[in-house]
Every structure is written in C-alpha cells, then in structure tokens.
Amino acid sequence: MISSSEIETTHPNTLPTQNDHLVVLNAGSQLYIKLDGGNYPAWRIQFNALLIGYDLQGYIDGSTPCPSKPLNNAPNVINPAYTHWVQQDQLILHAIVSSVTATVVTHLGAVRTSKQAWDTLKTMYAGRSRVRIMALKQRISTFTKGTQSMASYLQGIKAISDELSIIDSPLDNTDLVIHTFNGLGAKYREISAVLRARETPIDFAELHEKLMDFETLMHHDEPSGTDPILATAHAASRRHHQISFDNNSSMVNQQPKKKVICQFCEKPRHTAKDLRTGRTLLRRPLKQDLYHLPTTPSTASSPHALTTSIQPISTWHHKLGHPATKIIKQLADNHHIPIKLPPSAECSSCQCVKSHKHPFSDHSLTSNRPLELIYADVWGNAPFRSLDGFLYYVVFVDHYSKYVWLYPMKNKLDVLSIFIQFKSLVEKYFNLPIITLFSDNGGEFMKLRSFLSHNGSLISHRLLTHLN
C-alpha cells in the first residue's frame, strides 16, 4: 500500500468529475515488445504512444502531479482526486512492470510510482552521460555490414541513431547517411558513389529502399547452383585429388606433389595446356608481367614453341597489347611467326585512344575582362533520366577566364530561368555586367532573346553556327 509521504503532492485539491475513469493498460495485448535492455528505443516509442493515446503521459513526465490527500474544507476526508490519481498511477506502473523481462524487473523493486519506474529505466538505458554518448558515436562509426544481411545492417545502425536521439544527442540525416555508406563493403561501392554524387540530399528512408533493392538485384544476378564444368584442357582441383591430363590425353587422379601455378591466370593448382594435344603451352621467363621471346630464332629442326597455325594480324595485335602494324611485321619476320598480313588493319580501340586533334586555328574574338564574352550551349536529351530526373544540361563558358558553369535541366525551356539565375550570380561575383552572349540558333534560346530585348538589358545576343 502506498503511503501519502511517498508521493509528491503539489497539485491543489481537485474533485473527480463524472467523466473521470480508470484506464487499464493490457500489456499482453497492447505492448508487443518487451524491454530486455537492448531494445529500449523501440520499447519507449511503443509505450509512450500508448500513454499519449490514453492522455496519461502526464503521470510519467510529472505534468500531472498527485493531488493532496485531505480536502481543504474537510481534513479528515480523503480527497477523491487523490484516490483516483493513485489508482491510475498504479495501473500504469503495473503495465510498465508487465512489459519488461524478468532480468529488467529486478531493477524496479524499490519504485513506488510510474514516474519513478520510467525515470529508472531511462537512466539505465538512455543515460545522458558523456561516456555513453561517446560510446554510441564510436559504435556507429565502426559499425559495418560484414556478412549480415542488408536489412539487419540498416536496422542496427538505425537503432544506434535512435539511442542517440533519446539521450538528446541526435545525428542529423547527413551524418546518418554518411555512417551508413562508410559501413558498406566494396560490393556496394558503385551505388554508394552514385548516391553520394546526387545534387539533392538523400534521407535515410530513401537510402534504405535503394540499398534493399540493390541487394535484391545482386542476389538475382548471382549464379545459382554449382558452377558449370568448362570444356577446357585445364586441370581442375576436386577435394584432395587433382585431375589432370597425361601425355595420352587421358584423365588420371594424382596427389599434388608440388604447387603448380597457371602461366595465364597465375592461380594455383592448375596449368594451361593445349586443348587438342594436352601438352603444356610455351614457357618463357616472366619479367614485369611479360613473357620474353628469344632474340634469335631457335636452331632446332622443329621449334615447337614457336610454331602455330596462321592467325590474322588482328589476333596478334590484340594479344600483344595493340602495337603498331610495323612492329608486328618486324616480329613476324625476325621470329618466323606465320601471320596473315592484310593490306590494312583497323582497330577501333587504337583509333579512339591514339587519335590526335588538329591545332586550333586563330580567330578574331578577343576579350579583355571577365563576362565580356559568354558562350552558352545546351546538351541533350540523354538516353535516360538521372536519379533526380534530369535529361539536359546547359553550360556557360567565360571567354576571358575560361570559367565554366554547368546546370542540369529537366526540360529545354528551363534555359530562361537558369540564365536569370546565372546572370545574377556571376555579375554579383565579378561585380561586372555581361556584355555579349553567344549561342547557337536553338529554339531553347528564343525566350532568352525575348527576355534580353523586353527587359532593356545591355547584353548583346549573337548567334554562332561554328567557331574555329
């Protein structure tokens, strides 16, 4: 039984109204999460929502204090409001005790009110000590996905963030997203780079959705079942026995006697052999990841290492690292390698990488200060939309300083609004006006021309079709 001395009575005498009634909280059916020490944030949200729903939160936060026990006009009569408050408070205390595990309830043996029980649990599992804050921040900074599922990883990092919020040291959305990215492994490097490069910040809920979708896609792309057996002459390792080809192309089981390294993939326990004959391929000294051929041809009557079927020049061109045709011809002549030499050989990779641009010719355009000449051009549309829905971009180039400003756009008609924004930005930055604007005769610049003429602007708009 609770004595009046154990309850703080600061509220004035209040008689219960006809609508006052006791609310019984059923912990078994209304509170599905039992507090076990590690799930305090979830338990607190659940219990707090239940109390707010019944308008009983004042019992645990102190905003509904206990009325005085006796009435002012009748000291020997117990205040009905006091009796009602004690009964309701004990029902809330019972719900708290019923919603915690046996290991936690032992810490509530000395409490007498629901507020005491609430404050005790908050001190135990959500203390605001500097040590606890530092421990939680250290934990979230070192929390990694590892081998756990994406759902478990995101749930774990969000739980730490919720604990920090409860003790009044919350992480903002940007910090939470950065910690989430840092804990992902190398398999998620691509999607992390894409999401980090977004122009608009991503919140944790959207990040949760995209990472879960990405993990589902990764699992879908992984091959199921056992790896298919390749029809090659490579020796394969199966358990403790090695399957290899002998000189007669027959398969025998042997115990590995020494460590064998493949001369192509450099992986152990197998070697590359000719598919037809089963013989080991050419062996030569390896220097700086290259096999060096002899400088002089072999004097043997049948140099097996240097004989091969006639292959087109394109095959040797790709195998030897895209050398010039002159080098391949010299190699074929010096080492007697049969190569089919066509009149001309084209390689698209060489044309892209080894091409050289012509020097720029002089032109008459000159500028003596920033913003005197501004080039503008629109690119698009892209084959697919960006994460933020952009299909185009407009670029502005200052002829004098070579500064470049790039603005992504969802529609071509956004050129007018972007130019107004750009004009205000650069003129304020350089403290100079734009004199001349160059652009092509694209339709997206028509509204811009109208803006320049109707607003009394001093900017001259000139059209360019080609500039050498």
For the stretch 371-385, pLDDT in tens is: 989 999 999 888 889
88 band by pLDDT with thresholds 50, 70 and 90: very high
Q: State how far the alpha carbon of 183 is from the alpha carbons of 12, 39, 208, in Å.
A: 55, 22, 14
DSSP secondary structure code for residue 277 in this structure: T
Per-residue pLDDT, 395: 94
Higher pLDDT, 75 or 1: 75
8 Å CB contact between 121 and 35? yes
Q: Are residues 109 and 150 in the same domain?
A: no
456 band by pLDDT with thresholds 50, 70 and 90: low
Per-residue pLDDT, 239: 41
pLDDT surpasses 90 at 406: yes
Please name which of 455, 425, 387 lies closest in space to residue 213, comparing C-alpha atoms: 387
- Looking at 190, 219, 248, which one is the last position of a domain? 219
Please name which of 160, 14, 143 lies closest in space to residue 81, comparing C-alpha atoms: 14
- What DSSP line would sit under 332-396, residue for residue? HHHHT--EE--S----HHHHHHS--PPPPPP-S---SSTTSEEEEEEE---SS--TT---EEEEE
DSSP secondary structure code for residue 292 in this structure: P
- What DSSP line would sit under 131-155, residue for residue? HHHHHHHHHHHS---TTS-HHHHHH
Higher pLDDT, 361 or 210: 210
For 245, how many CA atoms within 13 A lie in the half-sphere containing its CB? 18
What is the three-class DSSP state of 405?
Answer: strand
Average pLDDT over every residue of 414-441: 88
Residues 6 or more apart whose CB falls under 8 angstroms from that of 110 comprise none
Q: Are residues 106 and 10 in the same domain?
A: yes
Residues 6 or more apart whose CB falls under 8 angstroms from that of 39 comprise 33, 159
Residues 6 or more apart whose CB falls under 8 angstroms from that of 161 comprise 140, 170, 171, 176
Residues 6 or more apart whose CB falls under 8 angstroms from that of 201 comprise 173, 174, 177
Decide if 448 is inside a domain. Answer: yes
Q: What is the pLDDT of residues 208-224, one digit of tens each?
A: 888 888 888 877 656 55
Q: What is the CATH number of the domain that holds 380?
A: 3.30.420.10
Strands of the 241-245 sheet, one edge to the other: 236-238, 241-245, 251-254
Q: What is the pLDDT of residues 61-84, one digit of tens each?
A: 889 898 888 887 777 788 888 899
Decide if 348 is inside a domain. Answer: no
What amino acid is encoded at 448 in this protein?
L
Higher pLDDT, 273 or 246: 273
Per-residue pLDDT, 86: 92
Per-residue pLDDT, 334: 81
Average pLDDT over every residue of 361-366: 74
Average pLDDT over every residue of 452-457: 65
Decide if 251 is inside a domain. Answer: yes
Token output for 102: 């046996």
Positions marked active-site: 203
pLDDT surpasses 50 at 38: yes
Domain count, the chain: 5
Tokens 């590690």 -> residue: 38
Average pLDDT over every residue of 411-431: 89
Q: Are residues 45 and 109 in the same domain?
A: yes
Q: Are residues 106 and 24 in the same domain?
A: yes
Q: Are residues 109 and 48 in the same domain?
A: yes
Decide if 303 is inside a domain. Answer: no
pLDDT surpasses 90 at 263: no
Higher pLDDT, 361 or 98: 98
- Looking at 104, 125, 146, which one is the last position of a domain? 125
Q: What is the pLDDT of residues 389-403, one digit of tens each?
A: 999 999 999 999 999
Per-residue pLDDT, 416: 87
Average pLDDT over every residue of 86-113: 89
Q: How far apart are CA 199 and CA 36, in angstroms?
A: 42
pLDDT surpasses 60 at 231: no
pLDDT surpasses 70 at 293: no
Per-residue pLDDT, 335: 75
pLDDT surpasses 80 at 25: yes
- CB burial of residue 400 (10 Å; 0-12, 13-18, 19+): middle
Tokens 């080492």 -> residue: 335
Per-residue pLDDT, 200: 83
Percent residues over pLDDT 90 in the chain: 10
Q: Are residues 77 and 105 in the same domain?
A: yes
Decide if 352 is inside a domain. Answer: no
Decide if 39 is inside a domain. Answer: yes
Percent residues over pLDDT 70 in the chain: 70
Per-residue pLDDT, 394: 93
Q: Are residues 211 and 146 in the same domain?
A: yes
Pairing of strands 66-67, 236-238: unpaired
Q: Are residues 145 and 64 in the same domain?
A: no
Per-residue pLDDT, 243: 40
Q: Are residues 282 and 262 in the same domain?
A: yes
Domain that holds residue 26: 4-125
- Looking at 125, 159, 190, which one is the last position of a domain? 125
pLDDT surpasses 60 at 238: no
Q: What is the pLDDT of residues 119-146, one digit of tens each?
A: 888 888 776 556 777 888 888 888 888 8
| Strand ranges for 239-335 from DSSP E | 241-245, 251-254, 286-287, 290-291, 311-312
Per-residue pLDDT, 398: 93
What is the three-class DSSP state of 219?
Answer: helix
Q: Are residues 393 and 324 in the same domain?
A: no
Q: What is the pLDDT of residues 143-157, one digit of tens each?
A: 888 888 888 889 888
Q: Are residues 65 and 134 in the same domain?
A: no
pLDDT surpasses 80 at 291: no
pLDDT surpasses 90 at 408: yes
Strands of the 373-379 sheet, one edge to the other: 404-409, 392-398, 373-379, 436-439, 460-463
Tokens 């652009």 -> residue: 439
- ∠ at Cα 118 (112, 123), nearest 5°? 115
Please name which of 99, 78, 58 lies closest in space to residue 2, comparing C-alpha atoms: 78
Q: What is the pLDDT of residues 186-204, one digit of tens each?
A: 888 888 888 887 778 888 8
Decide if 332 is inside a domain. Answer: yes
Q: Are residues 180 and 248 in the same domain?
A: no
pLDDT surpasses 80 at 313: no
Decide if 426 is inside a domain. Answer: yes
